[in-house]
Each structure stands twice: as C-alpha cells, then as structure tokens.
Chain A
Amino acid sequence: GAVVSQHPSRVICKSGTSVKIECRSLDFQATTMFWYRQFPKQSLMLMATSNEGSKATYEQGVEKDKFLINHASLTLSTLTVTSAHPEDSSFYICSARLTPGQGHGGYNEQYFGPGTRLTVT
C-alpha cells in the first residue's frame, strides 16, 4: 500500500525558533496534501490543504504567516512553524491524496503519515 512518511517524528525546540516538518509520499504522486493538528485526546483539525505548485488554502483561524506550507513537488510538502511558542506544541499529522483520476471509480484514497510530536519549551 501507499506510504506517507514524516520527518522528524519528534522535535523539541525553544520558544522563538522555527521548525520544519517534512511530509513525503514515498511511492505515489500526491497532487494534494493536507496538514492536521491534534491536541491530546482530541480530534484532528484540518489546518490547510496544499496543492502542488500553488499556494496552500488555510482553514479559518489558522495563521498562514505562522504556519508556512510549501508543496514544491508531487511527493513533498513541508510545514514550517515560525517563531514557535509553547501553545504551538501539538501532534502534527500530514496526509497525501492520490492525484484525481488515479483512484478507483472516481474515488482517490487519502493516506496519513505517522505524525510529528512538536514540543516548544
């Protein structure tokens, strides 16, 4: 099956610094990638939808200048948390979707990465 990787799996950074999280689709091309944030024992909240070669679409309430998303290729999207603060500490999960038309009967599968635990001290 299709695999999505994230790097790093865990990161600890100091307040005020920036941290970059990578999301890769290892064996398929993903026109669209998604970034989710999850607080402890809570649901996944969609932060932004990233389309290859274009600007990401952010959900309401998500600061685009704080959470920079770059989807430079069909297999790589990055999320950079700029000027991180302790309240940014969370579990960040990316997801990649098959390019439309590659799926079965119009449905295109969405695959999830293993997540990145960010702790800001």
Chain B
Amino acid sequence: AQSVAQPEDQVNVAEGNPLTVKCTYSVSGNPYLFWYVQYPNRGLQVLLKYITGDNLVKGSYGFEAEFNKSQTSFHLKKPSALVSDSALYFCAVRDNRNSGYSTLTFGKGTMLLVSP
C-alpha cells in the first residue's frame, strides 16, 4: 500500500520569507510525486510533479520541490512567500509500476497562511 504524510496541518509564514511544506511518502515501486494547490471551493491545480529525471522540480508560481529518494521526501519550497499563496496544499504519490492503472494517494493537506 502507498501512503503520504504531511506532518503539518498548518504552516504560517510572513510575506517575503521562505516557506517549506513537508511531505514524505511510501510506495512499493518508484514514485510519481505531485503537489496540488486548492483554493476555497475550487478543484485541484497541479503545482509541480516529479516523473523522472532531475530531482529538483520547478513548478508554477515560483514553487519548487526536491525528490529525495533516500529520505522518501518531496518537500515543497518557495524562496519568497506571497499573501496570494495562502491555500490548501496536497502532496500525492502514484506507483510508477503499471502506471497506466495505479491510483493517486493524497496526503491530508497542509493549510498555508501567509501574513502581510
């Protein structure tokens, strides 16, 4: 079985400061890893994804994440937070074996609050 852990329910950061939202995962094979953002009463938007290749993934709105296989982590980072980054963030994993049919498993989500 695969799983995702987001240890923080909420992360608070002041605008202009760097932010980190933590994610660790467990999967039998090799992972596909994702970060999604959700604004109130909206669906999910993919921020970035790791499929293969470079461990450092750059995504939308200045976010990035580093795939660390030894630590089974995929933390989301941004050098300078904006108030508009305030939202609910989900980390997700899929097993890349039989990738056409594997399901996506989500973490419980981390609320990011950026204060002015």
Residues on A lying within 8 angstroms of B by beta carbon are: 6, 32, 34, 41-44, 46, 49, 91, 93, 95, 100-101, 103-108, 110, 112-115, 117
Of B21-29, B71-79, B107-115, the one contacting chain A is: B107-115
Q: Taking A41-B111, A113-B43 as contacts, is the C-beta distance between A46 and B103 under 8 angstroms?
A: yes
Residues on B lying within 8 angstroms of A by beta carbon are: 32, 36, 41-45, 51-52, 88, 90, 96, 99-101, 103-109, 111
Which one of B44, B51, B107 has the greatest number of beta carbons of chain A within 10 Å?
B44
- Name the distance in Å between A48's Cβ and chain B's nearest Cβ: 11
Nearest B residue to A107 via CB reads B51
Q: Taking A43-B107, A43-B109, A105-B51 as contacts, is the C-beta distance between A115 and B101 under 8 angstroms?
A: no
What residues of B have a CB within 8 angstroms of the CB of A103 in the complex? 99-100
User: Chain B interface mostly helix, strand, loop or mixed?
Assistant: loop
Instruction: Select one of A34, A107, A112 contacting B99, CB under 8 A.
Output: A107
Q: Taking A101-B100, A105-B51 as contacts, is the C-beta distance between A44 and B88 under 8 angstroms?
A: no
User: In the bound complex, how far is the Cα of B90 from the Cα of A100, in angstroms?
Assistant: 25
Let me know if B32 and A107 touch, CB within 8 A: yes
Let me know if B41 and A108 touch, CB within 8 A: no
What residues of A have a CB within 8 angstroms of the CB of B106 in the complex? 43-44
User: In the bound complex, how far is the Cα of B106 from the Cα of A93, in angstroms?
Assistant: 13
What residues of B have a CB within 8 angstroms of the CB of A101 in the complex? 100
Instruction: Select one of B41, B88, B104 contacting A41, CB under 8 A.
Output: B88
Instruction: Select one of A100, A104, A107, A114 contacting B43, CB under 8 A.
Output: A114
